[in-house]
Chain A
């Protein structure tokens, strides 16, 4: 379980999220919805251990991540994968991109040896890379140049890249906001596949319909913190909080 307890984060004096709590179990999809600029990205970065909270704790499988030393925190951090709004692929082949997470987890001696081999043209493609690409329907794109892909394909590769090293948790930041319906559907299918593998998924999105389609639970982020967190049906059908209700019915306009 990955958990935020009373977490705040501020850039300078300006709090972005304040006193937020959230927990994600393996094998469930949690959608974080809310208008743009409300701190969804910061929330994901906190979960990814990319930024340190100014208050509160981030716990991963029972361990307080920021109480650990650097090496231990790296090990914890490596159990999390992340997909950004823009694919942020490396300037390399699809295969090299997807393999990245696996590669950097290997010891240096092996990495150097593999690098030499790949320069010599002797590449063995790890099974996990092919599997991950298969999940997003791009198994035949292995040798393509990542920069030559369409936006939708790139985002799917980005998803495969985070999936390939079999993370325990997967964080998606507005993964489909720039995509056409077909690619959106493929990503959402991949999210379900990840859940079925027992991965805990967090999707930050401003698209409530997407949240309805993929999420088991939904957190509504308004202002500095969650106004409501609960099972998707409850949040969408019978929200307890007045502002949540207004937001969901479209009355609350930011």
Chain B
């Protein structure tokens, strides 16, 4: 995981040129490190959400099991779960007094990953499921009629649903990187006295600026966040396009 962060920090020079266009009243490295933490936490959380949510969506799309409706309603409820509530629940879990207390996770990036995982998993799962169930039955029928096993059929349907699944992952990422409530609570919005972010993300940095009435810098950081989300979207869409033809 920390490899990701290192990579993000190393990508610093490229990123640094972005804030250089805006006059930030911050020490050098501050905005870069805040971006790095944002990306690290959200990418890691969404990667975990994808590893968990997409298989769940596949299982739900292809199999009938006891409690499926219940799982579905849990996911749908989870889509609208307020991030502050998730933050509080995760805080209770990772707090020294909570069940995960001995892991010493409170006010760490890992705790933020946990809360964003909880937030991103419902949309990733629900949108993936919608994409999978939205695939024309005829495609699965064709795969089976051509001699496909259940696994082959499932693979074909998943491939057909790949844009929808990519959308699901993007939606999860969008929710993760843009939420402020839970990361503020479980992460603590910490910056070291060397001016390098430890658990401060773009959203909590924006919140901090707004809290102090510095709306100008808050807006500038907001622009960085929006740019970042757009970039990630563009990259994923592009990957989807080049990967599509070959399947």
Contacts and interface: CB of A to CB of B under 8 A. Distances in A.
Q: Determine whether A and B are in direct contact in the complex, meaning some CB atoms lie less than 8 angstroms apart.
A: yes
Contacts of A50: 141, 144-145
A81 B142 contact: no
A236 interface: no
B143 A48 contact: no
B159 interface: yes
B110 interface: no
Contacts of A161: 146
Interface stretch (B2-10, B14-22, B148-156, B166-174): B148-156
Interface stretch (A20-28, A56-64, A92-100, A243-251): A92-100
Given A50-B144, A81-B145, A90 B245 contact: no
25 contacts: A50-B141, A50-B144, A74-B149, A80-B145, A81-B146, A82-B145, A84-B138, A88-B136, A88-B141, A88-B142, A90-B139, A90-B247, A91-B160, A91-B244, A92-B246, A92-B247, A93-B245, A96-B246, A96-B247, A104-B143, A104-B146, A118-B246, A161-B146, A165-B146, A165-B147
Contacts of A88: 136, 138-139, 141-142
B146 to A, nearest CB: 5
Nearest to B156: A90
Nearest to B153: A104
A119 interface: yes
Residue among A91, A92, A96 having the largest count of chain B Cβ atoms under 10 Å: A91
A52 interface: no
A188 interface: no
A48 B147 CA distance: 9
B153 to A, nearest CB: 10
B147 A145 contact: no
Interface in A63-86: 74, 77-78, 80-82, 84, 86
A89 B142 CA distance: 8
Nearest to B246: A118
Contacts of B243: 119
Given A90-B139, A96-B246, A48 B145 contact: yes
B47 to A, nearest CB: 20
Interface residues of B, number: 21
Contact of B160 (A78, A90, A96): A90
B163 to A, nearest CB: 9
Contacts of B136: 88
A101 B146 contact: yes
A105 interface: yes
A16 interface: no
A162 interface: yes
A112 B247 CA distance: 13
B147 to A, nearest CB: 4
A201 to B, nearest CB: 15
A93 B245 CA distance: 6
A41 B89 CA distance: 54
Contacts of B247: 90-92, 96
A217 to B, nearest CB: 23
Contact of B147 (A78, A84, A91, A118): A78
Residue among A82, A90, A162 having the largest count of chain B Cβ atoms under 10 Å: A90
Contacts of A81: 145-147
Contacts of B144: 50
B67 to A, nearest CB: 26
B146 A82 contact: yes
B143 A100 contact: yes
Residue among B141, B152, B160, B246 having the largest count of chain A Cβ atoms under 10 Å: B246
Given A82-B142, A82-B145, 9 more contacts: A74-B147, A77-B147, A84-B142, A88-B138, A88-B142, A90-B143, A90-B159, A104-B143, A145-B245
